[in-house]
Amino acid sequence: MVGAGVGLVAAGIAAGSLLGSALERRVLRRPLAEATERGLGFGTVHSPPLVVAADDGVQLYVEIDEPDPGVGGPTVVFCHGYALNLDCWHYQRLTMREGGVRCVYWDQRGHGRSGRGMPGPVGIDRLGHDLQAVLEATVPHGQPVVIVGHSMGGMTIMALADQRPEMFGDRIVGVALVSTSAGRLAEVTLGVPAAAARLMHRAGPGVVSALTHAPRLVELGRRTGNDLEFVLTRLYSFSSAVPPAVVDFVRQMNTATPIEVVADFFPAFDDHDKEAALPVLQKVETLVLVGADDKLTPADHSRQIALTVPGAELVVREDCGHMIMLEYPEEVDAHLAGLLDRAREP
């Protein structure tokens, strides 16, 4: 998730412990055990861990799915979004394994199992340097790379394009930008009236910062698993009637992200501006994929990216929100397969 949307959810997590009832929770939600019983197994698909040191020493958690020997093709590197972790690529990971594709999954700093680094604001440029470190440590020299980024992960790719344009078209042969933006996020209304959105953008950093000074309240709300938390997650993540277990999966990733990390990243989104780096992507096969009802990174932002990258494939999925790879996984997998086919061509 992005910016004020996650801040809103975080505030709801803290306040909602006073609002929810156990009966309503049983009606609205089902535990993640339901997902496991249905064979979904969210959060259970892993490979042996690898630790990659960023250039400032932060330890980044990485997993690599290796295909059978002799299988060729690019390595695909997946970059997750804000307040998520590498598990968000659950469905794509299963599909890539079936297809024998070499894939790298990593937790961005402060998220999942990666280290946080020094307390304080984290900019998108910092994430571009982290991605470069992951590429250098996990992709053999001379092997082509396709990078897939969701939300903040897409911004991470743009930061790398800004910092190391020579890598694109040479080492990096394909990019998928999923539910992301090149800038102007301070103008996003988050699905509320414009005046309320402006207030949220102004007050959001202060609210989230204040929550870092009340960790017991935040953790109480998270342990309670309140209804408001679930409703906000569904509102800002999905548009169609996804199973409750899928919503709860996203909720658990959000709430597993420390409130201090939420606060560290929060200011970066309104400051994010990588439109000038987009022409670099003309050198590679590019897929731009977004849900038509995305409240956090609206579809118009993806349309603008596609206009700036002539030749990019633009897919706007109707009846879909921000977490498109969990809401319509088969379609996302199909579009990623098409991108890989194009990237393999000379």
Q: How confident is the model at residue 214 (pLDDT cuts 50, 70, 90)?
A: low
Q: Which of 21-30, 87-96, 284-293 is the least confident region?
A: 21-30
Q: 218 or 89, which is more confident? A: 89
Q: Which residue has the tokens 């988050």?
A: 190
SS (H, E, C) 29-94: CCCHHHHHHCCCCCCCCCCCEEEEECCCCCEEEEEEECCCCCCCCCEEEEECCCCCCHHHHHHHHH
Q: Cα dist. 288→134, 140, 312 in Å?
A: 23, 27, 7
Q: Can you tell me the mean pLDDT for 300-318?
A: 97
Q: Are 264 and 152 in contact (CB under 8 A)?
A: no
Q: Cα dist. 282→70, 173, 313 in Å?
A: 30, 10, 11
- H/E stretch holding 176: strand 172-178
pLDDT at site 21? 35
The CA distance from 320 to 111, in Å, is 25
pLDDT in tens, 126-179: 999 999 999 999 999 889 999 999 999 999 999 999 999 999 998 999 999 999
Q: How confident is the model at residue 193 (pLDDT cuts 50, 70, 90)?
A: low
DSSP notation for 193-252: -HHHHHHHHHHHHHHHHHHHT-HHHHHHHHHHT-HHHHHHHHHHH-SS---HHHHHHHHH
The CA distance from 58 to 260, in Å, is 16
Q: Which of 203-217, 230-244, 317-331 is the least confident region?
A: 203-217
pLDDT at site 70? 59
Q: Can you tell me the mean pLDDT for 226-251?
A: 90
pLDDT at site 119? 87
Q: What is the pTM of this model?
A: 0.87
DSSP notation for 260-324: HHHHHHHHHHHH-B-GGGGGGGGGSEEEEEEETT-SSS-HHHHHHHHHHSTT-EEEEESS--S-H
